[in-house]
Structure 1
Amino acid sequence: MEFRAALLHCGLVDMGYQGNIFTWNNGRPGDAFVQERLDRACATSEWSELFPHAKVTHIQSSYSDHNPILIILSQPNQIGRRKKIPTRFEEKWAYHPDCEGVIRGAWAAENVASSPMFCLFEKIKRCRFELV
């Protein structure tokens, strides 16, 4: 909790990762073996906006008890592909100064008369499109 509080205080967000969840192990045998995710890449929302396609990968290592992390800043050219629309809320959006206004505007828009569940899904979908 203190680490998360420090990240929040500094305006940093964990960039996530691809690959093995663990980046460190104590190298002990049997029940004494411990693995943790100690090594992380963190960024400010401004940095994330400059490099929106940045990906963090945990790389396997045989020479250390820590696994290196690789940050790739650009994604391969995707000519002819549609833009991928996130299906979940991205934490980095909450740090953008316009986020609350965008969500309020999308949520307040009129819905066609329908079931409450349909209206809820439409509001969520509208928020997603407005935030992307």
Structure 2
Amino acid sequence: MLYVSDKKGTHSHPTSLLNGFRKTIEDCALVELDLTSGKYTWEKSRGTNNWVRERLDRAFATNEWWHMFPLCNLRVHHTICSDHGPIQLDLCSLKHSKRQFRFRFENTWLNSFHDEVTTYWKSLSPMYFVSKLIDIFTFMQKWGRSLLRLIGPNT
């Protein structure tokens, strides 16, 4: 465990062990992946006064790895058949808010779309492919919005 808050229940872990683990992670220049859909990955004695929950399972990455998988998502699944909740790493998790503008290609854009995207793609510095795709996605959203403003909402 990394922090005292990683455990809920009796008998806290010695802070010297927690500090040692954090120092090791820092020395290795690792960054922790955020865990969604729950805080704890292990439990025992559920439903009793002795119920203990802990965050035992974690995932860490280097900065280089983060650049390759900037849309990753780590989740815990809760199960009744084990005291451990399995964790799942999705390398490309695209979640859009209902309020967020979603890019939709329109056939009327074909006249200028290819040239605009090609020019923008070539202007991007060499980087990891996924990062470049994210940049082009953002560019296409902005381009689509500006075009819709030019031609009007009822066209």
For normalisation by structure 1, the TM-score amounts to: 0.55
Give the whole-Å Cα distance in 2 for the aligned partners of 1:24 and 1:77: 27
Contiguous gaps of at least 5 residues in structure 1: 82-132
Aligned counterpart in structure 2 of residue 37 of structure 1, from 50, 55, 73: 55
Amino acid at match of 2:55: R
Q: CA deviation at 1:51?
A: 0.3
The amino acid of 1:11's aligned partner reads: A
- 1:11 aligned to 2:34? no
Rounded Cα–Cα distance in structure 2 between residues aligned with 1:10 and 1:77: 31
The amino acid that maps onto 2:79 is: S
Of 17, 24, 47, 2:65 maps to 47
Are residues 1:24 and 2:47 paired?
Answer: no
RMSD: 2.2
**How many angstroms does 1:33 deviate by?**
1.1
- CA shift for structure 1 position 31: 2.3
Conserved? CA contact 2:41–2:76, under 8 Å? yes
Q: What percent of counterpart residues are identical?
A: 35
Superposition misfits of 4+ residues, deviation over 4 angstroms: none
Aligned pair count reads 81
Larger Rg: 2
Partner of 2:103: 80
TM-score between both structures, scaled by the size of structure 2: 0.47
